[in-house]
Amino acid sequence: MSELIQINAGFNSNEICLKYLEKLIKDHHLSQQNMNNRENNEQFYERISTCFEEHEKYRSFRGVFLDEQQSLDQIMSIQEQEFIDPNYIIGKNVYLNGTYYHGRNIFGQVYQQEFEDKLRQIHENSDNLFGFNIIHSLSDKFSGISMQAIQSLDKQLFCSSTSQFPNLLCCSAIEIYNTILSLNQLIFNCNYTMIYDYNSLSKRVQEQYKYQSLQNCHDIVAETILQNNCSMRFSGYQNGDLRKLAVNLISFPRMHFLSNAFSVINRDKILSDQIYNLMEPRNQNFTFQEDAKNFYRMQATISRTNDLYYEIQDSTSKSQNKTAWVKDSFCNINCKVQHYELGDTVLYIGHHNYFGIYCRQLCLKFLQQWKRKAYFHYFASEGADEFDFIEAEQTVADLYSEYITYDQVDQESME
């Protein structure tokens, strides 16, 4: 049975993980009332070790939390604290400013040894460790710490990330620098990256909650993480883990950046129309809505339904990718256990070419600042080298070139 480690670095990451943990507890019916009725809920506990360590008298969430001490003190006051192992909380009385290199240096000086000790402890308590998932933001002050944490992971295990990208229209120069340095590390050190854009998240929040807040954005991200690994936690008609998704969705290793859209299935409406609506890039709920073209390299769905799986599979079978050698390929994964609150749900995952355009926009923003060496002295005082910035920009520009090259090849093949 595959086991996942959840790693969280920074305030926003920990907020998302706590919401995810709250949903995870409800999804597995781990409240005291449900535990007393275990005979009728055996399916909820069959694969519970995917996300929880099972001890003699209790279960603990397999997650590591890194943050400033003041922020982590709040974790132990939440309702779900009984499922959080205090040994996996790494809080330090340090102050982080907003630069990538300061976070990287602080990790090496303060967090690294204890973090590696916690990972070793989790390794020893695991029977069949599958890999890691790290939640992080590319632009905030913990970006350097989260990237150093990824580099400390076992390269033989699967590494996925839930990454929040900044809105390039309104972010600062320091956030641009942090993002391009972090993205450079993600390209080389991660196998599977689910991307989120706070601008698109905010629009989705306004549609769903009628008012915008960071907590509601975090709630949506946590919901998609719950759906993303549901097939590893419950049985289904066609199960699959994150590695199966990576194999089906990622045609070239560096191009592993995926977007998603989540929806509750309405049985009163035509199912094929609901699935098709999710597949429209302009309707992608959580990523780069502006100017997204309907050009998907690969596509997949993860559904949670007991009786609509074949209908979903039939709906997606009519869709075509724009990649010539897998023109009709569409990966479907199903979990027979419905969502604890929403019922039948479906998560759509798409690998489309717009991320290449985002890389180009990021490089242009970076070069506008870099020509004047704007704010570089902040990074230089923390040991940054100009070559690191040039190398990161070149790597991201090369990724954009890859997207353009393969898109042209695919379009020529389709003609």
State the burial class of residue 33 (Cβ atoms within 10 Å of its Cβ: 0-12, 13-18, 19+). Answer: exposed
Question: What is the per-residue pLDDT for 8?
Answer: 92
pLDDT, position 209: 63
Q: What is the DSSP string of 360-411?
A: HHHHHHHHHHHTTTTTHHHHHTTT--HHHHHHHHHHHHHHHHHHHHHHHHHH
Q: Which residue has the higher pLDDT, 414 or 268?
A: 268
Rounded to whole angstroms, the Cα distance separating 195 from 163 reads 5
What pLDDT was estimated at residue 183?
96
CATH homologous superfamily of domain 356-414? Answer: Helix hairpin bin (1.10.287.600)
**What is the mean pLDDT of the segment spanning 332-360?**
89
Give the residue-averaged pLDDT of 53-57: 83
DSSP state of 330: -
Domain 3-355 coded CATH 3.40.50.720 = no
pLDDT score, position 109? 92
CA distances from 132 to 54, 149, 370 (A): 18, 11, 34
For residue 329, the model assigns a pLDDT of: 67
Determine contact, residues 83/25, Cβ cutoff 8 Å: yes
pLDDT at residue 41 is higher than 80: no
Q: How confident is the model at residue 325 (pLDDT cuts 50, 70, 90)?
A: low
What mean pLDDT do residues 215-243 have? 89
Residue percentage of the chain with pLDDT more than 70: 87
Would you list the domain boundaries of the chain? 3-355, 356-414
Report yes or no: 47 and 232 within 8 Å, Cβ to Cβ. Answer: yes
Could you tell me the pLDDT band of residue 322, with boundaries at 50, 70 and 90? low
What is the model's pTM? 0.92
pLDDT for residue 97: 84
Q: What is the pLDDT of residue 1?
A: 63
Q: How confident is the model at residue 404 (pLDDT cuts 50, 70, 90)?
A: confident
Q: Cα dist. 36→30, 31, 53, 239, 340 in Å?
A: 10, 9, 20, 29, 17
pLDDT at 80 over 80: no
Backbone dihedral angles phi then psi of residue 80, each to the nearest 5 degrees: -90, 15
Confidence band of 414 (pLDDT split at 50, 70, 90):
low
- Using pLDDT thresholds of 50, 70 and 90, give the confidence band for residue 58: confident
pLDDT on residue 269: 87
**Which ranges of 1-154 would DSSP assign to H, the alpha helix?**
11-27, 32-35, 69-73, 100-106, 112-125, 143-151
Confidence (pLDDT) at 347: 92
CA distance 216 to 230: 21
pLDDT band for 134, please (50, 70, 90 cuts). Answer: very high
